[in-house]
C-alpha cells in the first residue's frame, strides 16, 4: 500500500511538471515575440531621439560658426581689403576686425584666401597674429584643388573635411565664398579640429550605437573610424568604401538608403528609418537632414547589442517564475502527502471555503481512495489560481517599472532639447545690434523686444555710415525655432541688400531683400502651410541734412510730439508675398521734440482686456500721445507696463518688437 501511495504522489508531481512545461512553451514563444516587438519599438524610438539630439547638438555650434563666417565673408571691410590687398590701412583694418571674429569662433581661428594673390592667411590662438600669408596656393597642385573648386561653385559656402599639409591640420573647414557682386574675391571662414569634432559629436559609449555624418552625396564626413572619412570633398569624389552606400549590401539596400536620404531631405525635421546590413550584422539606420550644413546625421543601431531594454527585470522575472514553480511543486507534494486521506467532512468544508473565494484553505489529510483524488484536485486548483494571480501582479509591476524608466528617459531628452533652444536664444541675441546702437544713439532710443517663445521671429537692424543711420524692425513669419531660423535668412538677405543698395534708400533695400529671399527659397519644396513672408520697416536718418527717409513692407512709421500722433504707411505687401510688392521712400523733415516708433504687429494684436480683444491702433496711439515727451528709458517702461496690464492672464500671441528714436 505504501508503494502505491508513493507512486501516486510521484505521478501527480510528474503530471504537474509536464502541465507547467506545456503551458510555458507557448507562453514563452508569445513572450519572446512580444519582447521582440517591444524591443523594435523602443529601438526605433531610441534611434529617432538619439538622432534628433545628435542633430541638435551638431547644428547649434556649427550654425553659430557658419553664421559668423558668413558675416566675416560678407563684411565690407573684408571685401575692401581683398579688392586692394596691398593697401596697408585696409589690411590693418581687416586684421583688427578679424581678430574679433577669431575670439568668437569655436576653434579660436580663422582663414582668408585672396583670389588675386592666392595667399593663404591663417591665425589661431596658438601663435601670435600675423598679417602675412602662411603660404600661396598653386592651381597645379592637387592638394590645393579644393580652393579652385570652391570659388567656382554657385553655392555661397561649402563644408569640407580636409588635411592641410602646410598647416599640418585636419579640420572640418567652413569655406565661405567672398563675392563683390558677381566677382569672386576669395574665401574666408574657420575650421573645427576633426579629432575634437569626432570626440564631442561622434564618440559614444553606448553599446551597439554608431553615429556618423554623411554629405548629400553619401560621402562619410565624420565616423569613429577615421579611415572611413572622405576628405577633400570640395575637389575630389569619395572612394566607394568611404560612402555609407559602400558599407551596405549592393542592390535593394543601397536603393532604400537613397530613398531614405530623399525623405530626410524633403522633411528635415523628421527622421527616416531603414534596415540594412553593416559590418556583417543587420542594423537600424536613422537619418535626419540638416539643410543649413547639407549634412545627414546618421545613427546605426545594432538592436542585438544596444541596451534598448533593461534586461535586469527580465532575469528577475524568470528567476521568480522558476522559484515559484519550485515552491508549487513542493507544496503540491506536501498536499498529496497530507491531504489525500482527509475525511469527507473536511473535504466538504474545504470545498465550500474554496467556492467562497478563500484559496488558502486547509484540505483533509491525504487518503488512498476517491476522496484523496478529489482533495488533490482541489489543492491543485487552489494553488494554480493563486500562482496565476501572483504571476500577473509581478508582470504588472515589471511593466510599470519599464514605463517609469521610459518616462524618465523622455524627460531627460526634453531637457536636452530645451537646453539647445536656450543656447539658440543666446546666439540670436548675440546678432542683435545693441552695442552699436548704445554707442551711437545712447539715450535717444529704446528697444522693446519680447519674443513669444525662447527664440522668435522678430529682430531689429542698425547700420551707420558716418553721421547717417539705418534703423529697422523685421517680423518674420512663424514663432519659436522656425521663426528664429527665418530671422537668419532675413538677416543675411538684408545685409546683402544693404551692401548692394547702400543704406540711404530703404525702398531699394526692401526691393533687393525681396528678390534675395525669393532666390534663396525658389528651389526649396516647402509645404503651403509654411509661411516665408516677412514685414519690414526701415528708416534712414541723415542728421546733417535733417531728413528721414522711410519705407516699409506692411509696417508703418508712427510719430508723436505728445499732442498729436501720426503714421507714415508702408507698402501693402510683405517681403516674400505671393505677389511682388512695390515700395517707395517717404522723405520726412527731422524735427526736434518728435519721437518716432517702428513696431511689429505683436504689440497691436496682443489680446487682453475684459473681452480678449487686440490692443489695437487707437489704444496704441493714445499710449504714444501720453508718453511721447518722456525720456526714452521711461517711455520703454511705460509701454511695457501698459501692455502687461492690458494683457493680464492672456498668453502672448506673437513676438513683440518696438524700436523708438528721436533727436533733439
Point out the least confidently predicted range of 396-405, 437-446, 531-540. Answer: 396-405
Provide the pLDDT for residue 232.
Answer: 80
Alpha-carbon separation of residue 35 from 47, 121, 311, 482, 620 (angstroms): 18, 59, 11, 39, 62
pLDDT band at 4 (very low <50, low <70, confident <90, very high): very low
Give residue 472's pLDDT band: very low, low, confident or very high (50, 70, 90): very high
Residues 302, 568: Cα–Cα separation, whole Å:
64
Query: Which three-class secondary structure state does DSSP give residue 502?
Result: coil
pLDDT value of position 481: 81
Torsion of CA 448, 454, 455, 461, to 10 degrees: 20
Residue 562 resides in a domain: yes
The pLDDT confidence band at residue 8, using thresholds 50, 70 and 90, is low
C-alpha–C-alpha distance, residues 657 and 602, integer Å: 7
Percent of the chain at pLDDT exceeding 90: 47
Domain range enclosing 458: 431-661
What's the grid cell of residue 522?
Answer: 525658389
Question: pLDDT of 650-661, one tens digit each?
Answer: 999 999 999 999
pLDDT band at residue 3 using 50, 70 and 90 as cut-offs: very low
529 or 317: which leads in pLDDT? 317
Q: How far is CA 99 from CA 94, 115, 164, 557, in A?
A: 9, 21, 22, 38
pLDDT at 5 over 50: no
pLDDT at 336: 60
Residue 503: half-sphere exposure toward Cβ, Cα within 13 Å:
19
Q: Does the structure show a pLDDT above 50 at 428?
A: yes
Quick one: pLDDT at residue 2? 43
**Where does the pLDDT of residue 664 fall: very low under 50, low under 70, confident under 90, or very high at 90 and above?**
confident
Report pLDDT for 421.
Answer: 73
Q: How confident is the model at residue 361 (pLDDT cuts 50, 70, 90)?
A: low
In this structure, of 111-115, 381-385, 439-443, the range with the lowest mean pLDDT score is: 381-385
Higher-confidence residue of 237 and 4: namely 237
Task: Give me the mean pLDDT over the 612-632 stretch.
Answer: 94
**pLDDT for residue 529:** 54
Which of the pair, 13 or 43, is modelled with greater confidence?
A: 43
Compute the radius of gyration of the chain from its Cα atoms. Answer: 36
Alpha helices of 358-505 — where are they, by DSSP H? 370-430, 434-441, 480-501
For residue range 550-588, list pLDDT tens digits in order.
999 999 999 999 999 999 999 999 998 989 999 999 999
Position 641 scores a pLDDT of 96
Q: Say if 136 falls within a structural domain.
A: no
Contact 364, 376 (CB under 8 A): no
Question: Is the pLDDT assigned to residue 339 strictly greater than 80?
Answer: no
- State the pLDDT confidence band at 422, using cuts at 50, 70 and 90: confident
**218 pLDDT more than 50:** yes
CA distance 295 to 59: 10
Q: What is the DSSP string of 593-637?
A: T-EEEEE-HHHHH-EETTTTEE--HHHHHHHHHHHTTS-HHHHHH
- The overall longest dimension of the chain from CA atoms, in Å, is 127
Which positions ≥6 away from 645 have C-beta within 8 Å?
none
Examine the pLDDT at 9 and tell me if it is beyond 60: no
Q: Is residue 435 part of a domain?
A: yes
pLDDT in tens, 29-38: 776 676 677 7
**Above 70 in pLDDT, residue 27?**
no
Say what the pLDDT of residue 7 is.
Answer: 60
Q: What angle do CA 289, 216, 495 make, to 5 degrees?
A: 75
Residue 46 lies in a domain: no
Number of domains in the chain: 1
Please state which of the ranges 87-91, 126-130, 470-474 shows the lowest mean pLDDT. 126-130
- Band (pLDDT 50/70/90 cuts) for residue 235 is confident
Concatenating the DSSP letter of every residue in 414-443 gives HHHHHHHHHHHHHHHHHTS-HHHHHHHHGG
Given a contact cutoff of 8 angstroms between Cβ atoms, the answer to whether 186 and 153 are in contact is: no
| Cβ atoms of 207 and 306 closer than 8 Å | yes
Report the alpha-carbon distance of residue 558 to residue 473 in Å, rounded.
Answer: 13
The answer to whether residue 375 sits within a structural domain is no
Q: Which helix (H) or strand (E) holds 4?
A: helix 2-74
Q: Does the residue 510 lie in any domain?
A: yes
> Grid coordinates in use for 612?
480678449
Residue 207 included in any domain: no
User: Which of the four pLDDT bands, split at 50, 70 and 90, describes residue 1?
Assistant: very low
- Would you state the cell numbers that stand for residue 614, as one nine-digit string? 487686440
Q: Give the model's confidence band at 399: pLDDT under 50 very low, under 70 low, under 90 confident, else very high.
A: confident
Q: Give the HSE-up count for residue 369: Cα atoms under 13 Å, Cβ half-sphere.
A: 7
Please state the rounded mean pLDDT for residues 300-314.
Answer: 69
* Residues contacting residue 27 through CB under 8 Å, at least 6 positions apart: none
Q: Give dist(CA 186, CA 116) in Å, integer.
A: 8
Condensed to tens digits (0 to 9), the pLDDT of residues 488-513 reads: 889 999 999 999 999 999 999 999 99
154 contacts 177 by C-beta, under 8 angstroms: no
**What is residue 30's predicted lDDT score, i.e. its pLDDT?**
75
Q: Is the pLDDT of residue 340 over 60?
A: no
pTM of the model: 0.45
The strands making up 557-560's β-sheet, listed across from edge to edge, are 445-450, 656-661, 595-599, 557-560, 565-568
What is the pLDDT at residue 312? 63
Positive/negative CA dihedral, 230, 233, 239, 240: positive
Contact 184, 115 (CB under 8 A): yes
**Order of all β-strands in the sheet with 209-215:** 220-222, 209-215, 295-301, 281-290, 272-278
Average pLDDT of the segment spanning 347-376: 65
Grouping H, G, I as helix, E, B as strand and the rest as coil, residue 308 is coil
Measured CA distances, 591 to 373, 454, 594 (Å): 112, 38, 6
The pLDDT mean for the chain works out to: 85
Residue 179 phi, psi (nearest 5)? -120, 145
The answer as to whether 592 is a domain residue is yes
Q: CATH number of the domain that 644 lies in?
A: 3.60.40.10
Amino acid at each position: 500500500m505504501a508503494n502505491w501511495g508513493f507512486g501516486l504522489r510521484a505521478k501527480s508531481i510528474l503530471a504537474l511538471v509536464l502541465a507547467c512545461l506545456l503551458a510555458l512553451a507557448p507562453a514563452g514563444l508569445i513572450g519572446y515575440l512580444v519582447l521582440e516587438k517591444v524591443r523594435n519599438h523602443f529601438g526605433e524610438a531610441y534611434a529617432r531621439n538619439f538622432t534628433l539630439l545628435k542633430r541638435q547638438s551638431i547644428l547649434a555650434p556649427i550654425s553659430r560658426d557658419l553664421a559668423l563666417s558668413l558675416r566675416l565673408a560678407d563684411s565690407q571691410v573684408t571685401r575692401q581689403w581683398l579688392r586692394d590687398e596691398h593697401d596697408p590701412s585696409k589690411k590693418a583694418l581687416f586684421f583688427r576686425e578679424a581678430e574679433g571674429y577669431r575670439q568668437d569662433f569655436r576653434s579660436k581661428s580663422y582663414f582668408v584666401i585672396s583670389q588675386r594673390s592666392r595667399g593663404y592667411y591663417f591665425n589661431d590662438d596658438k601663435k601670435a597674429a600675423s598679417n602675412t600669408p602662411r603660404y600661396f596656393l598653386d592651381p597645379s597642385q592637387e592638394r590645393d584643388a579644393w580652393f579652385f573648386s570652391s570659388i567656382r561653385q554657385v553655392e555661397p559656402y561649402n563644408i569640407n573635411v580636409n588635411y592641410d599639409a602646410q598647416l599640418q591640420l585636419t579640420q572640418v573647414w567652413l569655406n565661405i565664398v567672398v563675392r563683390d557682386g558677381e566677382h569672386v574675391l576669395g574665401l574666408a571662414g574657420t575650421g573645427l579640429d576633426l579629432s575634437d569634432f569626432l570626440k564631442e559629436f561622434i564618440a559614444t559609449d553606448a553599446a551597439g550605437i554608431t553615429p556618423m555624418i554623411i554629405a548629400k552625396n553619401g560621402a562619410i564626413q565624420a565616423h569613429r573610424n577615421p579611415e572611413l572619412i572622405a576628405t577633400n570633398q570640395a575637389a575630389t569624389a569619395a572612394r566607394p568604401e568611404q560612402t555609407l552606400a559602400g558599407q551596405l549590401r549592393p542592390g535593394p539596400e543601397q536603393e532604400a538608403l537613397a530613398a531614405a536620404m530623399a525623405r530626410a531631405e524633403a522633411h528635415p525635421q523628421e527622421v527616416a528609418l531603414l534596415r540594412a546590413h553593416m559590418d556583417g550584422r543587420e542594423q537600424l539606420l536613422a537619418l535626419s537632414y540638416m539643410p543649413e550644413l547639407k549634412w545627414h546625421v546618421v545613427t546605426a543601431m545594432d538592436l542585438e547589442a544596444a541596451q534598448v531594454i533593461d534586461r535586469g527585470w527580465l532575469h528577475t522575472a524568470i528567476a521568480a517564475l522558476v522559484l515559484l514553480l519550485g515552491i508549487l511543486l513542493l507544496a503540491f507534494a506536501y498536499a498529496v502527502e497530507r491531504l489525500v486521506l482527509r475525511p469527507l467532512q473536511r473535504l466538504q468544508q474545504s470545498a465550500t471555503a474554496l467556492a467562497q473565494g478563500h484559496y488558502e484553505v486547509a484540505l483533509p489529510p491525504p487518503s488512498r481512495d476517491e476522496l484523496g483524488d478529489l482533495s488533490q484536485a482541489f489543492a491543485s486548483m487552489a494553488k494554480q489560481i493563486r500562482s496565476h494571480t501572483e504571476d500577473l501582479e509581478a508582470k504588472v509591476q515589471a511593466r510599470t517599472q519599464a514605463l517609469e524608466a521610459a518616462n524618465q528617459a523622455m524627460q531627460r531628452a526634453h531637457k536636452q532639447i530645451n537646453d539647445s533652444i536656450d543656447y539658440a536664444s543666446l546666439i540670436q541675441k548675440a546678432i542683435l545690434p545693441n552695442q552699436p546702437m548704445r554707442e551711437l544713439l545712447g539715450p535717444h532710443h529704446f528697444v522693446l523686444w519680447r519674443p513669444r517663445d525662447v527664440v522668435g521671429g522678430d529682430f531689429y537692424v542698425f547700420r551707420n555710415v558716418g553721421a547717417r543711420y539705418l534703423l529697422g524692425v523685421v517680423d518674420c513669419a512663424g514663432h519659436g525655432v522656425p521663426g528664429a531660423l527665418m530671422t537668419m535668412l532675413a538677416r543675411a538677405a538684408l545685409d546683402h541688400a544693404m551692401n548692394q543698395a547702400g543704406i540711404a534708400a530703404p525702398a531699394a533695400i526692401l526691393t533687393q531683400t525681396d528678390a534675395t529671399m525669393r532666390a534663396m527659397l525658389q528651389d526649396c519644396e516647402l509645404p503651403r502651410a509654411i509661411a516665408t513672408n516677412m514685414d519690414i520697416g526701415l528708416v534712414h536718418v541723415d542728421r546733417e541734412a535733417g531728413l528721414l527717409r522711410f519705407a516699409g513692407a506692411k509696417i508703418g512709421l508712427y510719430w508723436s510730439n505728445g499732442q498729436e500722433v501720426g503714421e507714415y504707411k508702408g507698402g501693402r505687401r510683405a517681403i516674400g508675398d505671393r505677389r511682388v510688392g512695390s515700395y517707395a521712400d517717404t522723405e520726412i523733415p527731422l524735427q526736434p521734440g518728435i519721437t518716432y516708433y517702428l513696431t511689429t504687429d505683436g504689440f497691436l494684436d496682443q489680446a487682453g482686456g475684459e473681452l480678449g480683444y487686440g490692443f489695437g491702433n487707437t489704444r496704441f496711439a493714445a499710449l504714444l500721445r501720453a508718453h511721447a515727451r518722456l525720456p526714452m528709458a521711461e517711455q520703454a517702461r511705460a509701454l511695457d507696463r501698459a501692455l502687461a496690464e492690458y494683457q493680464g492672464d492672456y498668453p502672448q500671441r506673437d513676438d513683440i518688437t518696438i524700436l523708438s528714436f528721436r533727436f533733439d
